Structure formats: structure tokens, C-alpha cells
Structure 1
């Protein structure tokens, strides 16, 4: 839906997100008490149904109708069957890895699967393979990308805004608005319902749907901002900057007491086992 480079990490993050939303239900897969037989399979089936019925068709629709945009102007066509298989495989992988982490009591690392999956997706959009990801994203095809205004002075901002406005009012953009509303809306509904049912089953005093959605939105905005900063660092210093920033981000997200812990507490997800580390 956001192009080949972004749809693959989206698939992983979506599978991980569905597993994380069902953390209370799946956490019992580890030490007793264990959930009823087949619980994991039911939630995995739900994640795969989201991928097969909602996300993959939306992704293939955009890739088929706008192949140059979907490949960031690198190709004229997309192998749709391979793309669909890769997206479904990544959805399953995201779910299963997160489920295993939850069963092992590593909720912080489970939450990190979603956060870092979204970060990779945002970096793919903002930076892309060559640093011009956002320019390619705002260009419908190869010709539009070739005509993208160069930014030399502040006066060039108007031309860039005009280029963006043309894209944002194009048929491609309308398609993205519609498919985005469906894919995000359905994913949000699935995760919201699973989260609320999990809180009820666990007897946990957690946030309502609106507050949980707000926490997700804040996390998404933060991830997008970090992706933009990473892109700026890579532009200024090179990919060595990304290598230097990676461990910092890992600590900032996954370390005990870091962002993943705050998010887990805010959403009333199961805490890490005390014997984890």
C-alpha cells in the first residue's frame, strides 16, 4: 500500500502488533497457567486473515496500478505473487516472533518488534535506498521524480510544495487515502478489540480504546520523527551514522525502564518476568 519497500516491514509490524495486542491471552503460552489448546493458532489465523483479506490485496492493488511509484521509480513492474507471499510470510514471522517473546516473559522485546518494524517502514519512506525516499514517495512515476524541484534556497520551498500538492491531489493519492483508511482502520479495530478483551480477561485496570489509540498515535509520530532524524544523519555523515545510532535506539526503546517499558505500563500489558535479566 505504501510501496514495496515499506509494505514488507509493515507486514512484519502488523503481525507483531496483533500478537502484542493479544499479549494477555498469549502470555499464558509460557509458564502456567497455560491457555486453552489452540489459542495461539486462533490469533495467528486472525493475523493471517488480516494480511490475506485486507493488507495484501490493498498492497497488490497499488503495486499493480502504479508499479513505478510502488518500486520508488526503480522498476516498471512488480512480481505480485512473490510480493504477496513475502508479505504473508512476514506477517506470520512478526506474529510468531512476538508470541515467542511474550511466552518467554520478554514483553519489552515483544513491544520492540512493533516499534522497530514501524521504524524500518518509516525509514523506507523517508530515506529510501538512496536518500531520496520522500522525494520518490511524492512522485507518481519516473518522469515526476525527474522533475522534482531541487532545494537550493528558501524560495525553492514553494516549488516543492507545489509538486507535493500535485501528488496529494492525484488519483494515486486518493487510492492511498482509501486503502490506508481500510488497512489502518481494520488493523486498529483488531488490535483494539484484542487489547480490551485481554484487559478484561486478566482483570487489569488498563486504558480504554481512545487512550490506547492515542498511545499508538504518539508512538507512531515518534517513530516517524526518529526516521527523519536518522535520514538527516545518514545524509550528513553517511551510513556509519546509522551504525552508531542503532545501539542508542536499541537502548532507548528496549532497555529496562526505556520507552517500551513506559508503553507496556501505559497499556497495562503483562510485565516482564522478574527473572528475565
Structure 2
């Protein structure tokens, strides 16, 4: 979706940079002096965003303009040409920005902070999908068009919401997403697994984690930690309103998700066995770090 992809592409870029942490740290001085554009992982991230991610967004915007804009646009005539061009550009530029920010943090030894940049992108994406700007984000997502969105009751029950979500799963939008996901997700995971297992490890730093462990950690970070954080934030905003809900969500996220040693995000970070200078320059499992 147009509103979602700005955050999503940033998270993708930061994810790629974090996956390449060992490769980035082990590049020799000659490669670094050649400039940031000599980084092959940056090229891989940009190519992924430009060749796969951006075209998928353009496809959805053309095929389902109301759904792709979260039911804001009615048809192609409602979309100004500059918005379409800007949308395509940000799907690449935000990915490059996410990679650059995360890679700068990695260069300064703040690998966990780089990992959290990916989290910021994914939590932002999921919060828009779950809550949106009016608390109806999930209704907009599970509506194939404006007519389906308009048919939602004002306060749907859980059963009604599940029924409408089930209907959406067989819609042309969902079928298109399945096909795209069959290409985009394996390509992304293949790159991330390859990069997480490569690069020069420090003496005593241990071996690279296994592929299944990496896949489990990555999927858990996205659909467990990031999605769970977005849902919790949406619930707090619903209960307390924006002025109290947002600070409450930030506090809960800081204590239960981000906090070193005990936070859910830091535990996933430990499973990936990434380097972290704040632990003496050696990768250390967050599950054993104890803060």
C-alpha cells in the first residue's frame, strides 16, 4: 500500500544492512576508500527494491488503486501522476536510506541499533495496516475495494471481522499478493541468510548460525515482535486515545521489546549471533547476556 511501503522499504533496506553486518565489518580499507557505492550488498539491496519491490507496488497500484491507497482513491483518475512517480521512487530511495542508516550504525559498532532500524520500519508498516489514521486500518486492508470497505459495520464483532477477513483471502487482491509473495519473500530471505552466514568472524566469536535458526529468527522478528508491537500499540491508542496511548506504547515497547537482555527484540538479535561492540566487540547471545 502507498502509505505502508514508505516504512516497509526502509525496513527492508535496514534488514539487508543488518544481515550484512559481518561483511560490512570485514571489508578492507581499500574497499572502504573506494566509496560507499562499491558495497556489493548495497547494490543487492537497491536491485531488490528496484527490480522486485517497486514493480510489485506499481502493479498493485494499477490493478487495485482503491486497495493500494487504503481505500482513499476510487480509481486511476483519482491518482495524480506525480503521486504515482513519487511512490515508485520512494520504494527504492527509502530502501537505500534504510541500508545507509543501518550501515553507518554498524560501522560505529552499534549493530543492535542497526537491527532496531529494521524494526522501526516493520512496526511502522504494521501499525498503519492494523490501526491506520482512524483505527480502521485492518478494515481497509481486509477490503478488496471501496464498496467492501463501506460495508463494514461501525463496531464489528470479532466474528464479523474474521468473516470479512476470510472473504478477502479469496479476493483478486489476495491472490495477487500470494503470487508476488512467492517471488519476493524467498528472494529476500535467500539474500539475508547468505549474508548472515558470510563475512569474517572475530577470533572466539563462534560460528555462523544455521539456516533454519536464521529463518526462524527473521520470521519471528517480523511476524512476532514487530506485528505484536504494532497490535499492542493499536490497542493502547484505542483504549487511551492518541495523547496517552502513544506515550504508553513507547514505554511498553522500551521495556518489553527493545530493552537489552530481556526485550523480545534483543532476544531475537542474540539468535542471529551478530557482532556488537557494546559487548566487547564480540558477538554474544542476547539470551545469555542478561542485560
| TM-score with structure 1 setting the length | 0.88
Worse-matched range after superposition: 33-42 or 131-140: 33-42
Aligned to 2:237: 234
Q: How many residues align?
A: 268
Q: CA–CA distance in 2 between the matches of 1:199 and 1:10?
A: 29
Deviation at 1:28, TM superposition (A): 4.2
What's the secondary structure of 2:135's corresponding residue? coil
Which runs of structure 2 are paired with 1:152-231 in the superposition (5 Å)? 156-198=157-199, 204-220=206-222, 221-231=224-234
Aligned to 2:248: 244
Aligned to 1:256: 260
Work out whether residues 199 and 268 of structure 1, in 8 Å CA contact, stay in contact via their aligned partners in 2.
Answer: no
Q: CA–CA distance in 1 between the matches of 2:150 and 2:264?
A: 40
Q: CA–CA distance in 2 between the matches of 1:127 and 1:5?
A: 12
Per-residue displacement from partner, 1:138-170 (whole Å, max 9, x unpaired)? Answer: 111111111013446xxx544433322221101
Work out whether residues 264 and 270 of structure 1, in 8 Å CA contact, stay in contact via their aligned partners in 2.
Answer: no
Q: Which consecutive residues of structure 1, in runs of 5 or more, have no partner in the other structure?
A: none
Deviation at 1:274, TM superposition (A): 5.3
Which runs of structure 2 are paired with 1:57-76 in the superposition (5 Å)? 57-76=55-74
Q: CA–CA distance in 2 between the matches of 1:6 and 1:167?
A: 19
Aligned to 2:87: 83
| TM-score with structure 2 setting the length | 0.84
1:21 to 3, 19, 35: 19
Deviation at 1:262, TM superposition (A): 2.7
Q: CA RMSD in A?
A: 2.4
2:128 to 119, 124, 128: 124
Per-residue displacement from partner, 1:115-149 (whole Å, max 9, x unpaired)? Answer: 12111111011001111000010111111111013
Q: CA–CA distance in 2 between the matches of 1:110 and 1:125?
A: 24
Work out whether residues 12 and 117 of structure 1, in 8 Å CA contact, stay in contact via their aligned partners in 2.
Answer: yes
Deviation at 1:261, TM superposition (A): 3.7
Worse-matched range after superposition: 93-102 or 214-223: 214-223
Aligned to 2:276: 271
- Greater relative contact order: 1 or 2 (C-alpha under 8 angstroms, separation 6 or more)? 1
Q: CA–CA distance in 2 between the matches of 1:101 and 1:231?
A: 29
